[in-house]
Structure 1
Amino acid sequence: MALITLRRNFCHISDFWIPGAVAALKIHPANHVQKIVKDRLHVWFCSLHPGLFRVRFHHSYCKNFHSQNGNDFHPVAEPWFSQAQEWNQPDGSLSRKDEETLCKRLNSFTSPDEVLSFLSTQDTLPVTLASAALHRICEVGERDYEQRLPQGVLETSIFRALCLQCGRDPSRLTDAAMVTALQSLVTLPVDPQSSLMLTLMAECRSRLQRGLLETRLLCILGESLVRLQGAGCETLELVLCQLQSKNLETFAPEDIVAIYRILQACPEKVDKHQTFLNTINNFSLSIVSFLSPKSISHVLTALVALDQTHAVPLVIKLGKHMVRYIPRFTSEELGKVLEAFVYFGYSDRFFTEALERHIAALCLSLDPDVTSAVMAYCSRKRIRSEPILDAVAEAFVCQSEKFSPSQISELIEPFGKLNYLPPNAPALFRKLENVLLAHFRCFPPRMLLRLLHSCSLIGCHPVNFMSKIFSPFFLQRLQGEESRVDRVSQAQLTQLFMTSVLECAFYKGPKLLPQYQVKSFLTPCCSLETPVDLHLYKSVVMGLIDLLGSRLYFASKVLTPYCYTIASAL
């Protein structure tokens, strides 16, 4: 039996041969045999090149590992390793308590190098722990290396051995380990047609068809399938069908968020699964208080992508819940939330107050994307928030070079729409003028016109740019491939021209050609004028009726020859 065990342990090592070992096994007792073998193994291992055994598990030194295009693992039917063995001890050599301890150690590491260094000290690693280690490497690696593991990690013998361990016999994997391994490999530049991926996919499909996977694993598998094979994957449809058969009361909050992400990735399936989605929307009302800021952002983004305009109660509850957590949102998450609120038309006084405190606290460190989203939210909902507008104006003055042309336009236009002039207006518009002078041609014509028109609405008349926008060259660019300049642009041009006549008498540059002027600013799609306060307007109308005796004796929105609109009494 000792001879059989010895050969089993070293049958894969072609250079291994100890003269006299068989005789020693026959003649000497077991304890003496162990001493002889131990001594000779020590001499043999020490004689090998030291570079081959920088790690303690001796199975993982690898040769001739190939990749296609430097990224993809080796395709089907071609070996990954010329020589690779399993870990020295069987899976059963670790107790469940030891496995739990190792899992806790793995989860404490914060970089792939730490995980690999820890694995190099292990003489045995069950396949379940190999899966957990692979997942941890991908998890911390994506965070540290911008969604992509460095090539140095992918090429290490330990990392390759982990992949081989997970794919050698997936039937030995637990359901959780199998799904986790697939989830991890999907994030890597692994060829979907590699033998490893095909083997894991086949095992996942087999267990899925037998209905063996629990809800959490179904959600993880569904997201992995979306990333691996896209929305048209047949297996994904099976995952969605099984999720619908589950009891929603057993779903954890993260499972609900995962379902939203899965459906968001395949919007063409929404009509087919709308009933299920309606059920999810209603059920989500009960778990809002358990959602993290990241989860709230994911849910709102999915609701927008899936056009769930009837899920307004859920949007309102999410908005009320997130008020206290606004500082915990990342810039990207907060931007997505604000985009969703603009899409659904949601606004709330408490949310606005919390947003004011958050933006005012950040001020000079505001991210351009968040700034654009905040200003779009205030503009769309007509929120004339002085703390937000002042902070945004200050942020632009201090870091204007970080803003793109579209972000600059989205930042400046609400000032005109909301009729607000910030305290640092001279510095703000001086900085804006310098940016426009340096990058005038980088701004699309219509965007530039909207931007300059907004400046004129708050009394900052763009005199230095009027000659450029009234020029035939700019007007031709504005017209583009259409036969004429659109009505809104003509109205904006006319208002700028009248500004040059009425407010800037010193302007002596080119005039706007008559064919680009309009006689009325009432446009079919929108109005260029700031809408009056409805309650104030009604009060004035009722007062005039009492004074004049009838509604027939006065009119509103009367256009004068100078293109100003006034309320006029007969």
Structure 2
Amino acid sequence: LPKKVESITPYTMALVAKYIARHRLRETQLLDTIAEFLVKKAEYLDSKVIQKLVFPFSRMNYRPSNEDAFFEKLESVLELKAMNSPLATVNIIMSMFQLGHFPRAILNQVFSPAFINNVINSPYALIVRRYLSLLDSAVELEYEDYSGPRLEERYKVMMFDHALTADEVNRKYSYKGLVAEALRQLVGEQCYKQDEVLPPGYYTDFLLWINNSGSVGPENTFQIFIPGKEKDCEEEEGGGTETRKREKLHRVVMSVNDKWHYCHNADILVGSRAMRDRHLRLLGYTIVQLPYHELEKLNGIEEVKHYLREKLLELQLIWSSADG
């Protein structure tokens, strides 16, 4: 492909990009070739084609070797074409954000009243509002220097209100059910929440509240976790409320990272997953990663319970040393 880049049509290159993204192939030489093609041809390409060519970079969480020219070209083209295809525009910006690049001039445009009014009555208004809501949250969390227009509160919606399609389709291949059963036996089903959607719309596998001494439980009724017991979730009595007031509560997200959450044959999370984790950490959540390549080595529910117990104990040690 690199040798034929001059003779390849945008349509063919878009097909190559689609294949790379679909199969999560982090083939850097191929990706760099697409980036080179984009820098040379972007002015002549439709926004929807550019969107297809950019997507594999955010999907693979990969900044090309010519990243300065790549981002500069995308910004200059988007400044001219932002209004032509608003959905493609916000998709391209989302890809940039996932790669940690924040184009100020374009954000000024897409958060402007003119852009909002252009999309709000269109057939794709809801999906654009979802993207803009997530972009606005990302600006809040990651782009402190930005001082331009922002999305008005009345237009904000949750980005996702249910599991991602890939997670639904692959549910039967996921380790999530096994982890759920092990967690239920370990701490009791009242002590965690499953499938919570956290603002600005991030879907999570398991959400727990844990204090420094290892107590686990619902946010409101505090319960105690004593590593080593078969059923470790019991109501605290007496001074339990006082303990809760004195000790810091950690909001912990347990994340079951299945095969499709990673680039193919690599331990690099796909861009959307990586950005979700980044944002949840910035929002104050502690993330416990449960990678499939660790889970697949476990044999039976008892080993999974032991594995989860070790993960929770590791957290305690981290928090204890931080406080110490």
1:501 to 120, 123, 140: 140
Judged with a 3 Å threshold, the aligned counterparts in structure 2 of structure 1 residues 416 and 361 are, in CA distance, closer, same or farther, namely same
1:555 to 180, 186, 193: 193
C-alpha displacement at 1:568, in angstroms? Answer: 1.4
**Over residues 268-317 of structure 1, what are the superposed CA-to-partner deviations in whole Å (9 max), with x where a residue is unaligned?**
xxxxxxxxxxxxxxxxxxxxxxxxxxxxxxxxxxxxxxxxxxxxxxxxxx
SS at match of 1:399: helix
- The answer to whether residue 83 in structure 2 is matched with residue 445 in structure 1 is no
- Distance in 1 (CA, whole Å) between partners of 2:171 and 2:68 is 28
Residue of structure 2 equivalent to 1:429? 71
CA RMSD of aligned residues (A): 3.4
SS at match of 1:494: helix
Residue of structure 1 equivalent to 2:284? none
- The answer to whether residue 96 in structure 2 is matched with residue 455 in structure 1 is yes
- Distance in 2 (CA, whole Å) between partners of 1:366 and 1:543 is 52
Judged with a 3 Å threshold, the aligned counterparts in structure 2 of structure 1 residues 459 and 536 are, in CA distance, closer, same or farther, namely farther
- Distance in 2 (CA, whole Å) between partners of 1:500 and 1:363 is 35
Among the aligned pairs, what percent are the same residue?
A: 25
Give the number of the structure whose residues are more often strand, by fraction. 2
**Over residues 131-172 of structure 1, what are the superposed CA-to-partner deviations in whole Å (9 max), with x where a residue is unaligned?**
xxxxxxxxxxxxxxxxxxxxxxxxxxxxxxxxxxxxxxxxxx
CA contact (8 A) 1:396 1:428 kept: yes
C-alpha displacement at 1:390, in angstroms? Answer: 2.3
CA contact (8 A) 2:163 2:203 kept: no
- Distance in 2 (CA, whole Å) between partners of 1:455 and 1:539 is 35
SS at match of 1:455: helix
Name the larger-Rg structure.
1
C-alpha displacement at 1:416, in angstroms? Answer: 2.5
Residue of structure 2 equivalent to 1:412? 54
Residue of structure 2 equivalent to 1:391? 33
Q: Which amino acid aligns with 1:429?
A: F
- The answer to whether residue 9 in structure 2 is matched with residue 367 in structure 1 is yes
Residue of structure 2 equivalent to 1:126? none
Mapping for residues 466-545 of structure 1, pairs under 5 Å: 466-481=107-122, 486-519=125-158, 521-522=160-161, 535=174, 537=176, 541=180, 544=183
SS at match of 2:61: coil
SS at match of 2:196: strand
**Over residues 411-444 of structure 1, what are the superposed CA-to-partner deviations in whole Å (9 max), with x where a residue is unaligned?**
1123223433323322211111122224444x31
- Distance in 1 (CA, whole Å) between partners of 2:172 and 2:157 is 26
Pick 1 or 2: higher relative contact order, CA cutoff 8 A, min separation 6.
2
Q: Which amino acid aligns with 1:407?
A: V
- Distance in 2 (CA, whole Å) between partners of 1:516 and 1:542 is 39
CA contact (8 A) 1:491 1:517 kept: yes
- Normalization by structure 1: what TM-score? 0.32
CA contact (8 A) 1:390 1:422 kept: yes
C-alpha displacement at 1:371, in angstroms? Answer: 0.7
Residue of structure 2 equivalent to 1:400? 42
C-alpha displacement at 1:479, in angstroms? Answer: 2.7
- Distance in 1 (CA, whole Å) between partners of 2:44 and 2:172 is 36
CA contact (8 A) 1:384 1:418 kept: yes
Judged with a 3 Å threshold, the aligned counterparts in structure 2 of structure 1 residues 533 and 379 are, in CA distance, closer, same or farther, namely farther
C-alpha displacement at 1:447, in angstroms? Answer: 1.6
Judged with a 3 Å threshold, the aligned counterparts in structure 2 of structure 1 residues 520 and 455 are, in CA distance, closer, same or farther, namely closer
Query: Aligned residue pairs: how many?
Result: 206
Q: 5+ residue gaps in structure 2?
A: 209-216, 218-324
SS at match of 1:568: strand
Mapping for residues 40-439 of structure 1, pairs under 5 Å: 359-363=1-5, 365-439=7-81
- Distance in 1 (CA, whole Å) between partners of 2:18 and 2:187 is 44
Pick which of 369-378 and 401-410 moved more.
401-410
C-alpha displacement at 1:362, in angstroms? Answer: 2.7
- Normalization by structure 2: what TM-score? 0.53
- Distance in 2 (CA, whole Å) between partners of 1:401 and 1:371 is 15
C-alpha displacement at 1:519, in angstroms? Answer: 3.5
- Distance in 2 (CA, whole Å) between partners of 1:365 and 1:423 is 22
Q: Which amino acid aligns with 2:161?
A: L
Give the number of the structure whose residues are more often helix, by fraction. 1
**Over residues 64-122 of structure 1, what are the superposed CA-to-partner deviations in whole Å (9 max), with x where a residue is unaligned?**
xxxxxxxxxxxxxxxxxxxxxxxxxxxxxxxxxxxxxxxxxxxxxxxxxxxxxxxxxxx
CA contact (8 A) 2:134 2:159 kept: no
CA contact (8 A) 2:90 2:131 kept: yes
CA contact (8 A) 2:58 2:99 kept: yes
SS at match of 1:460: coil
- Distance in 2 (CA, whole Å) between partners of 1:361 and 1:543 is 52
Q: 5+ residue gaps in structure 1?
A: 1-358
CA contact (8 A) 1:365 1:395 kept: no
Q: Which amino acid aligns with 1:397?
A: V
- Distance in 2 (CA, whole Å) between partners of 1:511 and 1:388 is 36
CA contact (8 A) 2:54 2:95 kept: yes
